[in-house]
Amino acid sequence: MDQAAQLRQMMEKESKNLYRLNSRMTDNRGSYEKEPRVIAVSSGKGGVGKTNIAVNLAVAFRRMGKRVLILDADLGLANIDIIFGMNPKYNIENIISGEKNLSQVIVSGPEGVDLIPAGSGVQELTQLTEGQKINLLNEFDLLNMKYDVMLIDVGAGVSSNVIYFNLAAEERIIVATPEPTSVTDAYALIKILHFQHGVKNFYLLLNMVSDEKEAKSVYDNLSRVTARFMGSISIEYAGFVPMDNCVREAVSRRKPVMCAYPEASSSYCFRVLADYLLKRKNNGRIDGNIKFFWKRLMSGETDADVKIGNRPV
């Protein structure tokens, strides 16, 4: 083979390698985009509708073809199972103690929304030995392949648990109603997450409003105040859910309103909200991965000062 032919062969080989490398990178990027989103739902004040929002949003995501897991992490008032009309036998505690594995604890709710009943077990996550943590993380790793979205019903207030879950999740929805106390408490939660923990991105969802105009006006007021006192913060209007008696009736039938009354105005808004969130490029993504969520949660690497269940922040 002459020199020119050798050179040509070398170049062809190089370009093939480069092509392979490129396509691998594209594949990786593709799978990165497909990594599950982890969205925390919390509020300053209790009783503003977080549980109903998590549950109905989950059903709406399912109807859009997404595989959804809910983590019931409201340590005070865990009650997703009530709205799902089920009585799960096990919760995360049974996984931590090693009695059960994840697949035995996860239950399947309406329309194939899966649920991890968390209960108070979550408080023990930071106290596990390294070996236990690795075992658990291996289990949670499987969830990345099984789900597109994990929603966390975090609970209300500014306790260390609420802060902790909000830090470990990569996206956070703060729920508020137009009541002044709810808005003030939402502000307090955002303020702590921002000033004490450097969180910059939030979605605000207004529940139990009379109409969109009221929702927008509450959002405008809150975002004006946060822009004034917290400069670089981004609070994005995610949408609203109207005050709707069907929600209450569905709860008393132990069903999500999306299932009991699909034509209700609130059900319509949940569909709009789910659509908005899916189209929205991930707001403030740290690492869109369920395993990393658990890792952050267990190691406390989100913030060394916040220890789950120890003290109010």
Ligand X SMILES: Nc1ncnc2c1ncn2[C@@H]1O[C@H](COP(=O)(O)OP(=O)(O)O)[C@@H](O)[C@H]1O
Binding of ligand X at residue 46 (CB under 6 A)? yes
Q: Can you tell me which of 35, 36, 37, 43 binds ligand X, judged by CB under 6 A? A: 43
Q: Distance between CA atoms of 241 and 36, rounded to whole angstroms?
A: 25
Binding of ligand X at residue 251 (CB under 6 A)? yes
Binding of ligand X at residue 50 (CB under 6 A)? yes
Q: Quick one: angle between helices 265-279 and 50-63, nearest 10?
A: 70
Binding of ligand X at residue 226 (CB under 6 A)? no
Among 44-52, 112-120, 161-169, 303-311, the segment contacting ligand X (CB under 6 A): 44-52
Its sign, for the CA torsion 87, 88, 89, 92, is: negative
Among 44-52, 135-143, 210-218, 225-233, the segment contacting Mg ion (CB under 5 A): 44-52
> Least distance (Å) from ligand X to the CB of residue 78?
10
Q: Distance between CA atoms of 232 and 203, rounded to whole angstroms?
A: 15
> Least distance (Å) from ligand X to the CB of residue 230?
24
Q: Can you tell me which of 151, 241, 264, 274 binds ligand X, judged by CB under 6 A? A: 241
Its sign, for the CA torsion 207, 212, 216, 217, is: negative
Taking the CA atoms of residue 82, residue 86, residue 89 and residue 92 in that order, the dihedral angle to the nearest 10 degrees is -60
Residues 6+ apart with CB under 8 A from 107: 81, 86, 88, 114, 115, 117
Q: Are 207 and 177 in contact (CB under 8 A)?
A: yes
Among 12-20, 58-66, 227-235, 239-247, the segment contacting ligand X (CB under 6 A): 239-247
Helices (H) then strands (E): counts for the chain: 13, 8
Binding of Mg ion at residue 52 (CB under 5 A)? no
Q: Can you tell me which of 42, 51, 267, 289 binds Mg ion, judged by CB under 5 A? A: 51
> Least distance (Å) from ligand X to the CB of residue 280?
22
- Determine the longest span between alpha carbons in the chain, in angstroms: 84
Nearest alpha carbon to residue 113 among 48, 42, 192, 56: 56
Binding of ligand X at residue 260 (CB under 6 A)? no
Fill in the DSSP letter of residue 36: P
Binding of ligand X at residue 244 (CB under 6 A)? yes
Binding of ligand X at residue 248 (CB under 6 A)? yes
Q: Are 69 and 115 in contact (CB under 8 A)?
A: yes
102 vs 276 by CB, closer to ligand X: 276
Binding of ligand X at residue 207 (CB under 6 A)? yes
How do 149-156 and 37-43 pair as beta strands? parallel
Nearest alpha carbon to residue 259 among 118, 22, 52, 103: 52
113 vs 298 by CB, closer to ligand X: 113
What's the full length of the chain, in residues? Answer: 313
List the single partner that 43 binds among ligand X, Mg ion, none, CB under 5 to 8 Å by kind.
ligand X
51 vs 201 by CB, closer to ligand X: 51
List the single partner that 122 binds among ligand X, Mg ion, none, CB under 5 to 8 Å by kind.
none
Q: Distance between CA atoms of 111 and 63, rounded to whole angstroms?
A: 8
51 vs 166 by CB, closer to Mg ion: 51
Residues in 55-84 that interact with ligand X by CB under 6 A: none
Residues near Mg ion (CB under 5 A): 50-51, 74
Binding stretches for ligand X (CB under 6 A): 43, 46-52, 207-208, 241, 243-244, 247-248, 251, 266
